[in-house]
Each structure stands twice: as structure tokens, then as C-alpha cells.
Structure 1
Amino acid sequence: MKLHSDEQLYQKVRQADHEAFDQLFDRFWKRLFEYAFKMLQDREQAEDVVQEVFVQLWENAPKREIQHLSGYFFRAVKYQVANVIRNQKWHLDWNTVQLEDILVTDEPEVGHNVVLLKVVEERIEQLPPKCREVFYLSKKHGYTAKEIAANLNISPRTVEGHLQRALKSLKADLEHMYILVLIFLYL
């Protein structure tokens, strides 16, 4: 069986051949798991997604003709991940989210961070001017509240008020957009 192509094994699976199914499982499980885990960042969910893909393959094999099995598997995993993300009740614990980690720096991030960084940048630009200035000085440039207060000729308490208002505004905006960003990134 190890010498059979994926498509040949699939034809045997269509005839309810358990050994062929096990061979396909062994060939694809690790790569599909890694793909799902990369998107979900949750071991248990990734395992469930891959298991569901294989269950559907087995159940639907007699009535489905698949030409490119590898492509089918990865599309099926992507679809299942999208379902998990859509169906999951997302609740963000904003106390654990560090906006400093996702703010634009001098060197742009790669991958999905670029999208999130653009969204955060847009939301920061919508802050009131003084609030935005205080936020940038604190989060992007690393100035303390005292340093910002001295530079802008305002009290440290006013600086803290601007920072709290900025963070509250950003957290409210981003909490609503987070699910959409995740779905967009992984579809």
C-alpha cells in the first residue's frame, strides 16, 4: 500500500478499504494538523478539525470523486477552521492584550500582523489630536507619563487620562473587529 499514489488509495477508500484509509491518514495527518494549528493556535481544536476532515472523507468517499487529494485536504481543513472561528464565542480579555505588541514600528511585521497593524493605525488616527499625540509618545516612543507631561506642558494626571481614553476607545473598536480580522486572515 505504501507504493500507491494518494489517488489510488482514495479509490480504495471509496470501496471502504480501511487499510487504504489508514495509509492516507498516516500520510496527511501531521501536515494537516500543523496547518490547522498554525491558524487556531490550539492543539485540541486543531486535532478536532483534522479528525473531522478525515471522518467526512470516509463518510462521503463512496459518493464523491476527488482528483487532487492533497488540495482537497488543505481546503477542507481551511473550511473547518473557518467554521470553528465563526462558531466560537470569542471573548477577548483585553487585560492580557498588549497594544504595544501590535503597534506600527519602524520595520513592518510580516503576515497577518500587517492587517492588524493597519486596523490599529486607522483607529489611532481617529482619536482626538491630543489623545493621539499622548498615545504615540507613550506607546510608540516609550516616553513615561512624566516625560510626556513635561514635553506637552500638561499634568501627568492629564496624560494618564488621555492614555486611558485612547486605550478604552481602541479596545472597544478592536474587540468588534477582531473576529472579522481573524476570519479574513485565515480564509
Structure 2
Amino acid sequence: MKELTDQKLYERIKDSDHSAFQELFDRYWKKLFGFTFRMLQNVEQSEDIVQEIFLSLWEKAPLKDVAHIKSYLYSAVKYQVSSVIRNQKWELDWDTIEGIYEVQVPTYDPLELEEVNRFVEISIDTLPPKCKEIYCLQKEEGYTAKEIASNLNISPRTVEGHLHKAKKILKAKLQLYDVLVLTVFYL
């Protein structure tokens, strides 16, 4: 099973192959948990989200066609994390928010940056789907344009075009905020 691509494993999962599911689970569970934990800083919530994603994948696989399983998993996790955060009514402490973007800007008021963070997240959610996916792969998961292009089977130039479009849209939406914060913090 280890030699099979993610897509081949998914095709087997669609046919209820437990060993293919186990292999995909083993490949991504730790990565998805780490990704989730960095945002929530809560072990139980992070474990629950990742378990729910895999359970949903198993149950819905026969009914769904997923072209890029890795992107699907990370997008599903991000959606679930967003739901958890919304349900908590944004009651994250400042250290958690700094940890998400791994940036420390001590000269800015934490409440102001929290407000900017919320507005940026909302703005990112309004990006066109492909732009949003590519932007998140680069900014949140740290993939290069070349890696994104390879994973999504598109050209690096197309990836750069989507990134440029996403940044242009975000800059237009966020022009009310301090340019320094936007430049250092998000774009």
C-alpha cells in the first residue's frame, strides 16, 4: 500500500478497502493533527476534528469524487477549525493568534491585531475557490508555487496568477488597515 499514490488509495477507499484507508490515515493523521493543533491549541478538539474528517471521508467516499485528496483533507480541516472558532465566538487568546501566523509584532495593540486577523480571515473566505485554495496552501501550509502546481496538476504560472489575484483582492478589501501590518502580517 505504501507505494500507492493518494489518489489510488482513495479509489480503493471508494470500494471500501480498509487497508487503503488505514494507509491514507497513517500518511496524514499526524500532519493534519499538527496543522489543527497549531490553530486551536487544544489537543482534544484537534483530535476530534481530524477523526471526524477521516470518518466523513470513509463514509462519503463512495458518493464523492475527490481529485486532490491532500488538498481535500486540509480544506476539510480548515473548514472544521473555522466552525469551532466561530462557535467559540473568537475567544482565542492573543498567543494563539500569533502562533497561527508565527509573527510577533510587539509595537501593535493586540486588540487591533485581533480585529485585523478576524477581518482578514473573513476576507480570505470570500476569495474565489481556486484562489482561496492556492493562497491557503502557500500561506498556511507553506507550499511553494512549484509544489502547489505539482499537487493540483496546474502550471506554476497559473499558481502565481491565482496568488497575485488573491493578494490583489485582499489588498483592496484591507486598504483601511495599516499598510505595515498588512505587508508584514498577511501578504
Give the SS at the match of 1:37: helix
Give the SS at the match of 2:4: coil
Aligned partner of 1:79 in structure 2 is 79
Which of 101, 108, 111 lines up with 1:117 in the alignment?
A: 108
- CA, structure 1 residues 186+43, in 2 after alignment: closer, same or farther (shift >3 Å)? farther
Of stretches 84-93 and 9-18 in structure 1, the one that deviates more from structure 2 is 84-93
Aligned partner of 2:57 in structure 1 is 57
Structure 1 Cα separation of the partners of residues 45 and 124 of structure 2: 15
Structure 1 Cα separation of the partners of residues 92 and 55 of structure 2: 32
Aligned partner of 1:28 in structure 2 is 28
Q: Deviations over 1:148-183 (max 9, x none)?
A: xxxxxxxxxxxxxxxxxxxxxxxxxx7xx5993695
TM-score (norm 2): 0.53
List aligned pairs for 1:105-144, cutoff 5 A.
111=102, 113=104, 117=108, 120=111
- CA, structure 1 residues 58+44, in 2 after alignment: closer, same or farther (shift >3 Å)? same
Aligned partner of 2:48 in structure 1 is 48
- CA, structure 1 residues 85+120, in 2 after alignment: closer, same or farther (shift >3 Å)? closer
The 8 Å contact of residues 39 and 186 in structure 1, kept in 2 or not, is answered as no
Which of these two proteins has the greater Rg computed from alpha carbons?
Answer: 1
* Structure possessing the higher relative contact order (Cα contacts under 8 Å, 6 or more residues apart): 1
Give the CA deviation at 1:120: 4.0
Q: Which runs of 5+ in 2 are unaligned?
A: 126-187
TM-score (norm 1): 0.53
Structure 2 Cα separation of the partners of residues 186 and 118 of structure 1: 22
Aligned partner of 2:143 in structure 1 is none
Q: Does 1:13 align with 2:4?
A: no
Give the CA deviation at 1:3: 1.1
Give the SS at the match of 2:15: coil
Q: What is the aligned residue count?
A: 121
- CA, structure 1 residues 68+49, in 2 after alignment: closer, same or farther (shift >3 Å)? same
What amino acid does structure 2 have at the position aligned with 1:48? D
Q: Deviations over 1:6-58 (max 9, x none)?
A: 10000000011111101000000010000000110111111111111101101
Give the CA deviation at 1:89: 5.2
Structure 2 Cα separation of the partners of residues 32 and 26 of structure 1: 11
How large is the Cα RMSD of the aligned pairs? 3.6
